[in-house]
Amino acid sequence: MTLSYRFIVTMVCLWLLLSGLFKAQLLILGILSVALVVFLARRMRLLQHRGQSFYEGIFQSLMYWRWLLYQIVLSNIDVTKRVWSPDLNIKPKLKQISATPNTELGRVVYANSITLTPGTTAINFTPGDDVLVHALHEDSLAELEAGEMAARVRDVEPYYQVQEESR
């Protein structure tokens, strides 16, 4: 199945899922809207990132986002406990963390994931291998240094790594 057909099937399923209506007039409008979106996406070359198909690695990406959302919830709970505790158990700290993902895109996802997680912010992302991170407590930095987030980003990025190496 080529990329355009996969995109069309995805768009049709998404439209049917979101609309939930199966009247003839609405189905015709849905087909027209999907056709317009597919035309514009192909014309703008949005279905590929640096020659790599959008659909490759989609399952791994979804699994990463599921894990990241769980980490965001855990961090929210941790920050709330620290802020509401009577002794205000915070120890802000800045530290350079090695960004070990292999591709530029992987390093950007890694830095953004750090920022999305409450209690940590990626302050400076250099083109090299380091991210300057501000943490509400040094425990958060220890978790980043343990490398689980970086390992999960590396699991998602092999599809992009092959493309960058071929340049």
Supply the pLDDT for residue 149. 92
| Domain ranges, residue 102 | 58-165
Orientation angle between helical segments 24-43 and 3-19, nearest 10 degrees:
140
Supply the pLDDT for residue 77. 94
73 and 32 together in one domain: no
DSSP annotation of 119 reads T
pLDDT along the chain (167 residues), means of 10: 70 84 87 88 69 62 90 93 87 87 82 91 80 89 89 77 47
131 contacts 145 by C-beta, under 8 angstroms: no
Q: Cα-flanking dihedrals φ and ψ of residue 36, to 5°?
A: -65, -45
39 and 88 together in one domain: no
32 and 98 together in one domain: no
The pTM is what?
0.66
50-66 pLDDT tens trace:
555 555 567 778 889 99
80 and 40 together in one domain: no
37 and 92 together in one domain: no
Total count of domains within the chain: 2
Residues contacting residue 103 through CB under 8 Å, at least 6 positions apart: 157, 160, 161, 164
149 contacts 110 by C-beta, under 8 angstroms: yes
Residue 147: count other Cβ atoms within 10 Å of its Cβ: 13
Supply the pLDDT for residue 120. 92
